[in-house]
Amino acid sequence: MTALEIDPGSFRDPAGRVVHLGGRIYRTIAESAAGDYEFLSRRGVLDRLRDEGWIVPAEEVNAAILGDTGLAAHRVVEHPCLPFISYPYEWPFGALKAAALFHLDLHLRALDEGVTLSDASAYNVQFRAGRPVFIDLLSLRRYREGEFWLGHRQFCEQFLNPLLLRAYLGVPHNAWFRGNLEGIPTADLARLLPRWRVLSWRVLLHVVLPGRFQAQAAGRTDGGAGGVKRRQLPLPALRGMLKQLRSWIATLEPGDSTATVWGNYEETHTYAEPEEQAKRRMVAEFVAHAKPNLMWDLGCNTGAYSALALEAGAGTVVGFDFDQGALERAFARTSRGRLDFLPLFLDAANPSPDQGWNGTERMGFGRRATADALMALAFEHHLAIGRNIPMDQLVSWLIRLAPCGLIEFVQKSDPTVQRMLSLRDDIFPDYTEEVFAALLARQARIVRVDTVSAAGRRLYWYDRSR
């Protein structure tokens, strides 16, 4: 039997833990949470929410399957394994907005069943086939008449405030959220907003006043902050609060919506039509041969080749890019087509690290999943030339990410690289196709090489699985 591993990110919830065993995912349910779980199960709430696509399936299994874990599991359920776990600091604006609306809609739907959400963590939302899905059934519990929405602050700091940062100030949330895993503090955002924004009643209600209350509570020594939990909020008022937030968030759009460097690349790329078709053919042939369950598309841009990979037989494609405009178009593509494609923000020279409590709570980019295949199309020169990454390190990094893949090498004479070099010295004597091909051949078998542009761009199909 494969060793049991407790998910290091699940320690925060006293109601249960997530456990990995033999490639399967289990969730323990502590005795303190068993009453709510049994209430939801007995009334069929979990089944209905699952069938309607709100939550991941959860099949109850014998608790003895986990052996003597010391977790005091009263009940155990099994969840299906998701291909890849993403974090809100990796989502583009469109994905974070979709997740926020989904969370509010789920809360409203749960209230119809006499159920509420005990928290509002963005980490409880994942994406599947272009749509959000909720993964923490223990956040669902019986609603108690008049209770205040205890997840309001968490919702604002992990959903609303990051969206407002981009919508009102034109600043993407990714770096700040990654640096503060609890989200963007309300008091900090309130200090940044211009006065005319602060005068909005919505901003006053959800940003300014909560920020002041938090500051006041932090300065008290008499325990008065606990009084917040005793406030009464009638059910109609709670519904109204959720609906008002939903209406507001639905109107938010990125405040920096001008064209980005690569946002229009799909229309302005340098390939002639026959060259583009040749590139698409090789991508399709590679994917059809590799048949990857999980594929990574590094430098996915607007997702055109990710969509092609899905058509050619890839199960799930996770795309990565650093251009916010391109990512917005990519997320619109996956939402519109209900594609099993997830575009995420990535600075490949500074990828998401292991972080959080004990450095393990949130796993880094390279440790969360091993892709079956990758594409890195018109990508390597941005690291080698744009970020001074040594070619030997770059090739080794790419090959470690997946056992087979397509890497497009862009010649130094290519117009794009020449533009990159126009404002700096050429300090890259080793940036040649000969060096690249030799490094690749040392670590993998080169299956095929195709020229796909008049400027000499070439696609290298590698395989290190044998």
Report the range of poorest mean pLDDT among 63-72, 320-329, 451-460.
Answer: 63-72
What is the structure's pLDDT at 309?
Answer: 98
- Read off the tokens for 125: 């939302």
Report the range of poorest mean pLDDT among 56-65, 219-228, 274-283.
Answer: 219-228
What is the structure's pLDDT at 258?
Answer: 61
Name the CATH superfamily, with its identifier, for domain 265-463.
Vaccinia Virus protein VP39 (3.40.50.150)
What is the structure's pLDDT at 219?
Answer: 57
* 406 and 292 Cβ atoms separated by less than 8 Å: no
Give the closest residue to 210 by CA, choosing from 189, 230, 196: 189
What is the structure's pLDDT at 271?
Answer: 64
Average pLDDT over residues 181-209: 88
- Read off the tokens for 451: 């020229």
CA angle 309, 313, 317 (to 5 degrees): 45
What is the structure's pLDDT at 265?
Answer: 55
What is the structure's pLDDT at 360?
Answer: 92
3-class DSSP state of 438? helix
Q: Is the pLDDT of residue 131 over 60?
A: yes
Q: What share of the chain is helix, strand, coil (3-state, %, to 5)?
A: 45, 15, 40
Give the closest residue to 73 by CA, choosing from 38, 13, 20, 32: 32
Report the range of poorest mean pLDDT among 6-15, 122-131, 134-143, 426-435.
Answer: 6-15
| 393-410 pLDDT per residue, tens | 999 999 999 999 999 999
- Read off the tokens for 20: 């990995």
Report the range of poorest mean pLDDT among 129-138, 182-191, 220-229.
Answer: 220-229
Residue 462 CB: number of other CB atoms within 10 A?
A: 24
As a whole number of angstroms, the distance between CA 279 and CA 309 comes to 12
What is the structure's pLDDT at 266?
Answer: 57
- Read off the tokens for 16: 């249960």
Average pLDDT, the chain: 91
What is the structure's pLDDT at 1?
Answer: 45
| 139-168 pLDDT per residue, tens | 999 999 999 898 999 999 999 999 999 999
Task: Provide, rounded to the nearest whole percent, the portion of the chain with pLDDT above 70.
Answer: 91
On whether the pTM is more than 0.85, the answer is yes
| 289-321 pLDDT per residue, tens | 999 999 999 999 999 999 999 999 999 999 999
What is the structure's pLDDT at 216?
Answer: 57
